[in-house]
């Protein structure tokens, strides 16, 4: 093989190795920062580490909102198949209502979801596609357990 061909081959292989390494580092960095979406059923059935920050989405159960000691709030979130109890310390969004869609960001530990932020839908017709899909699947499988 001529020397010029070897240099080209080395260059191409070097670029491929560096690109693969860079892609691997990007995927590794993103994996640590992704907040996955879980429905209450998926959260109950999965083995999520209490150290991992996740998103929980569903509908606030009617009659479940309890205000304690000022800004401490407890409520239940459902996908019409399972229910997860949520605690949150802070001011709830103005659009937060029982029977409406909600996404909470926080940690799941020992059957309790400790939210660090709560997001409510922004109008009557909007609900994230992920929640719509999870709710549609849950309604197909049964009622709240």
pLDDT, residue 122, reads 60
At 104, list the tokens. 């909470």
What average pLDDT score do residues 1-13 get?
Answer: 87
Neighbours of 83 (CB within 10 A): 18
Q: How confident is the model at residue 2 (pLDDT cuts 50, 70, 90)?
A: confident
Residue with tokens 């860079």: 22
pLDDT, residue 66, reads 92
The 10s digit of each residue's pLDDT in 18-34 is: 999 999 888 887 776 66
Query: What are the start-end ranges of the H helices in 46-144?
Result: 129-141
Whether the pLDDT of residue 123 is over 70: the answer is: no
At 26, list the tokens. 């990007």
Q: How far is CA 61 from the centre of its chain?
A: 19
pLDDT, residue 140, reads 60
Give the C-alpha separation, 24 to 74, whole Å.
41
Whether the pLDDT of residue 126 is over 70: the answer is: no
Q: Where are the domains of the chain?
A: 1-33, 37-141
- The CATH code that applies to domain 37-141 is 2.40.50.140
All residues at 6 or more sequence positions from 112 whose CB lies less than 8 Å from its CB, including other chains: 85, 86, 87
Neighbours of 142 (CB within 10 A): 11
The 10s digit of each residue's pLDDT in 37-90 is: 788 888 888 777 777 888 898 999 999 999 988 889 999 999 888 899 999 999
Higher-confidence position of 134 and 39: 39
At 10, list the tokens. 């080395």
pLDDT, residue 145, reads 45
Give the C-alpha separation, 82 to 45, whole Å.
10
At 61, list the tokens. 């159960």
Whether the pLDDT of residue 127 is over 60: the answer is: yes
């Amino acid at each position: 093989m001529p020397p010029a061909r070897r240099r080209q081959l080395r260059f191409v292989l070097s670029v491929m190795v560096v690109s693969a390494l860079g892609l691997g580092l990007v995927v590794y960095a993103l994996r640590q920062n992704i907040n996955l979406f879980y429905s209450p059923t998926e959260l109950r059935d999965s083995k999520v580490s209490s150290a991992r920050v996740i998103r929980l989405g569903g509908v606030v159960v009617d009659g479940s909102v309890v205000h304690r000691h000022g800004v401490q709030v407890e409520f239940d979130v459902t996908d019409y198949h399972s229910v997860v109890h949520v605690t949150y310390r802070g001011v709830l969004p103005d659009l937060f209502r029982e029977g409406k869609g909600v996404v909470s960001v926080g940690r799941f530990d020992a059957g309790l979801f400790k939210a660090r932020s709560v997001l409510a839908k922004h109008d009557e017709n909007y609900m994230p596609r992920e929640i719509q899909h999870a709710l549609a699947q849950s309604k197909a499988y049964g009622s709240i357990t």
